[in-house]
Every structure is written in C-alpha cells, then in structure tokens.
C-alpha cells in the first residue's frame, strides 16, 4: 500500500505503527556541505543525523532503539528510548534523508522523500502463506537443504540482531548469510575441542576460563564465542577482545553491557602491549595482518595457552624475503619458474608461511591442524590454524622445519619470537 503522509510527524507515527525491528535511513539531501564532517562526540542523535550519510536502526529487546551513524570513516552509536523514536524519525525525514527502509514482523516499509518535501510511504504486508512456504523450505531435509547449526536460524539471538545478521524473528538476512555461516563454522571448530576446555575448567576448580581475542574488530565471533561457551555450554568464561579502534571498542562494550554479558569486555590495545595478570586458557586471532598473527601465536605459546585459534591474513613477510633473492641462490633456485611470477609467488608464500607456522607450533609441543575455515568463494583467507597444547615444553624447531626454512632461505617472525637462539631466530 502506498500513502503520502502530509508531514514528517505523521510519517514517523505511521512507521512506529509498523513495529519495525530494523531500519536504515540513507540518501542524504543536500545540507550545505555538512555531510561527512565529524561532529562533536557528545552530539544528540538528531544532531548526528545531520552529518551522517546513513543511519542503521535496530530495536533491542528492552525497547531501546540502537542507532548507528556512519559519518566519514567513523561510526557513532546512540541508544534512543522507544518513546523518543518518533521524534528522531521526524527529524530524519524533515529534509535530512530522502530514503528509509524498515522491516518488522508485519512486513516492510519504504520511505521516499524529495527535495520539495513530498513524502511517500510504501508498506508491504507479510503473508501467512509466505511464512508457511519458508518454514517448509527451512525444514525440508531432502537434498541437504537443512543443516543443524550451533546457532540455528529461526531462534532470535540479541547480539546477531544488533549486529545486523538476523531480524527479530531470527531470520538471517540474505546478504549476511556468509557471515552467519562463518560464525557457525567457527563455533563448530570450538565444539571439537570442547572436551579440552571442560578439562581445563575442572583443573581451575571453578575459576573462569580466560580467553583473549586479538584484533577483535566488530566482534561477531567474539560475541558468538561468549554466547556459545557461556549461554549454551554453561562454562565460566572471561573473554577480552582487543582492537586498536577506540570507537569500535566503545560500541562493543556498550553491546556487552546491554546483553548483560558480564564475562565479556573489550579494550583498546594491541598484541605487543597486552599485559595479563592471570593465565590465559585460549587465544583467538582472526585475520590479523602479516606478522601480527605471528606475534599473537608467540604470545599464546609463551603463556602456555592450552588452545589457539588463528585465521592468518596478508602473509607478506616470506614473500618479501623470497622476492629479495634469499631463495634464488640456494636449493630453491630449482623452483625459479614457480617463484618468478609475483601472483604465484605471493600465493605460494602464504601457504609456506602457514606451513612453517604449523611446524613451529608443533615444535612447541602443540597438536596442530590446518583446516578450511569457510568456503573459498567467500574469502581467500580461509585457512584456520587450530592448536592444542601437549604436556611437555618445546625444545626448539624440528628438523623438518629447519630443512624447509633452509631450503627457501627464509626466517619467519614466529621463529624469531619463539626460538631467538636458533640460526633462523637470530635478529
């Protein structure tokens, strides 16, 4: 149904009647060049809207609207009481934005506003027949259409709703299915070593498991890890996420408080400067660039962390060493046709880097697996390193590691961090 509200106030009231669960306002109208300018950090939501190129809205379970403002290269977050939402929407469509898209249990709503002030509201109801068909497709086990996941679709999970992965009914947005699959795939790997974590929890006699996530970013997987271990498996955990972006950390801490995840916190910091007071039971490092992965792995080994998960990214170090000629004068010169092409050398160097990382972790007495994280069609950075610590301390790089590193004439950062007294570990 299409209507033309006579004012922004009337439009805002009509939108609230749709009981939307998520929404996006976008397409700024011309505003004297203010769009993209960084406003005061303490600005009110209506004031922030005047600077934003887009605003995402999500209804939280406690009748609070969370607004995420995209301004320049930064994001700002505000919680708006549901009773103030109509006033905020009225401000947005009073000459600030020209489009809005909202979804809720009853259907969808689209807002169009032109420079002359004409407002259009298009609403589409959600039909029961469509719901029935969707449910049938969801539960059709023929041809492997249905996959039992640790976090199943159809069950609303607050943090996934707030991060824009699913709506209030637990339906995963089509554009977010890769992220949804990634989250569940990661939890499946964690589930595989759950017995080791339970054993560690028993060893600690009631003390919580301490987990550090280096480079947590927006923390999709950090929240999922806490939800799985604490809420589903009822394990006592304290998880700390670290990232260098202060606004991202502030947002994640706000979400953790909103969901009353008392064992989940976030800090501004990096791997090198993180100081611990207690033993660390699990280290997670997902998509840390280049040697940042090596430093995360090294800290985990030095702390004696029983479990390590890492998904490396941007392995440039060995590519640069091979390109500089370290492999051209030794035995690896026979592979010159393989290494002369930059693209092939880059991909080969990434595989060599992760192979040597696995060898070094095994030298430090970890049982290591290199597994496919998610499908290659989603991202080429799809190798996950899973390592579980053994009982004895490591004594130095293995012969197989030394043979491979010497063959290519390379000296990885992880060896320098773990075994500084070895030939390849010298500065």
Give the lowest-confidence range in 239-243, 246-250, 264-268, 380-384.
Answer: 380-384
Q: What 8-state DSSP symbol labels residue 173?
A: P
User: What does pLDDT average to over the chain?
Assistant: 84
Cα gap 151→181, rounded to integer Å? 10
Comparing 319 with 146, the larger pLDDT belongs to 319
How much is the pLDDT for 340? 81
How much is the pLDDT for 375? 55
Classify the C-alpha dihedral 305-308-313-315 as positive or negative. positive
Mean pLDDT (whole number) for 248-277: 86
Comparing 332 with 118, the larger pLDDT belongs to 118
CATH tag, 181-425: 3.40.50.150
Cα gap 380→383, rounded to integer Å? 8
Give the lowest-confidence range in 19-23, 28-32, 317-321.
Answer: 28-32
pLDDT in tens, 51-98: 888 898 988 766 788 898 888 778 888 889 888 999 999 999 998 998
CB 67 within 8 A of CB 78: yes
How much is the pLDDT for 335? 82
Give the lowest-confidence range in 26-30, 177-181, 186-190, 384-388.
Answer: 26-30
**pLDDT tier for residue 358 given thresholds of 50, 70 and 90:** very high
How much is the pLDDT for 168? 81
Residue 157: pLDDT over 90: no
Question: What ranges do the domains of the chain cover?
Answer: 2-125, 181-425
Cα gap 60→58, rounded to integer Å? 6
pLDDT above 70: percentage of residues in the chain: 87
Instruction: Supply the DSSP string of 267-310, one letter for each residue.
Output: EE--TTT---SS---EEEEEEEETTHHHHHHHHHHHHT-SEEEE
Residue 237: pLDDT over 90: yes
φ/ψ bin of 63: left (φ > 0), alpha (ψ from -120 to 50), beta (otherwise): left
Give the lowest-confidence range in 124-128, 248-252, 277-281.
Answer: 124-128
**pLDDT tier for residue 123 given thresholds of 50, 70 and 90:** confident
Q: pTM of this prediction?
A: 0.65
Give the lowest-confidence range in 234-238, 311-315, 355-359, 415-419.
Answer: 311-315
Top mean-pLDDT range of 12-16, 39-43, 75-79, 142-146: 12-16
- Tokens 């637990």 map to which residue? 170
Q: What is the dihedral of CA 154, 155, 158, 163, to 10 degrees?
A: -30
pLDDT in tens, 277-317: 678 999 999 877 888 899 999 999 999 999 999 998 888 88
**pLDDT tier for residue 130 given thresholds of 50, 70 and 90:** very low
Residue 126: pLDDT over 70: no
Mean pLDDT (whole number) for 23-42: 74
Coil/strand/helix, residue 102: strand
């Amino acid at each position: 149904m299409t209507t033309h509200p006579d004012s922004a106030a009337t439009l805002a009231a009509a939108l609230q009647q749709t009981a939307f669960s998520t929404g996006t306002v976008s397409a700024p109208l011309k505003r004297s060049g203010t769009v993209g300018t960084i406003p005061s950090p303490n600005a009110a939501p209506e004031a922030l809207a005047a600077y934003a190129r887009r605003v995402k809205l999500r209804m939280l379970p406690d009748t609070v609207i969370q607004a995420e403002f995209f301004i320049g290269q930064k994001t700002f977050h505000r919680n708006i009481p549901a009773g103030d939402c109509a006033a905020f929407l009225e401000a947005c469509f009073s000459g600030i934005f020209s489009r809005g898209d909202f979804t809720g249990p009853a259907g969808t709503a689209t807002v169009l506003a032109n420079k002359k002030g004409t407002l259009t509201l298009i609403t589409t109801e959600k039909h029961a027949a469509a719901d029935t068909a969707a449910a049938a497709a969801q539960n059709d086990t023929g041809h492997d259409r249905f996959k039992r996941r640790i976090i199943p679709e159809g069950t609303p999970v607050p943090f996934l709703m707030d991060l824009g992965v699913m709506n209030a009914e637990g339906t995963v947005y089509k554009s977010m299915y890769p992220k949804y699959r990634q989250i569940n795939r990661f939890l499946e790997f964690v589930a595989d070593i759950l017995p080791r974590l339970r054993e560690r929890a028993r060893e600690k006699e009631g003390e919580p498991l301490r987990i550090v996530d280096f480079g947590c970013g927006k923390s999709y997987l950090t929240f999922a890890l806490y939800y799985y271990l604490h809420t589903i498996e009822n394990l006592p955990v304290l998880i700390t996420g670290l990232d260098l972006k202060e606004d991202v950390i502030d947002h994640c801490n706000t979400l953790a408080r909103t969901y009353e995840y008392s064992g989940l916190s976030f800090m501004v910091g990096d791997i090198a400067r993180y100081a611990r007071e207690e033993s660390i039971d699990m280290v997670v490092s997902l998509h840390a660039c280049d040697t940042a992965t090596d430093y995360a792995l090294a800290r985990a080994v030095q702390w004696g962390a029983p479990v390590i998960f890492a998904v490396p990214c941007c392995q440039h170090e060995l590519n640069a060493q091979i390109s500089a000629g370290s492999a051209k004068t030794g035995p690896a010169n026979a592979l010159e046709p393989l290494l002369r092409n930059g693209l092939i050398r880059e991909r080969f160097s990434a595989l060599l880097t992760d192979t040597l990382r696995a060898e070094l972790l095994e030298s430090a007495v970890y049982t290591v697996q290199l597994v496919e994280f998610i499908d290659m069609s989603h991202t080429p950075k799809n190798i996950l390193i899973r390592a579980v610590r053994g009982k004895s301390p490591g004594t130095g790089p293995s012969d197989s590691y030394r043979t491979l590193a010497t063959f290519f004439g390379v000296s990885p950062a992880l060896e320098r961090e773990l075994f500084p007294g070895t030939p390849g570990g010298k500065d």
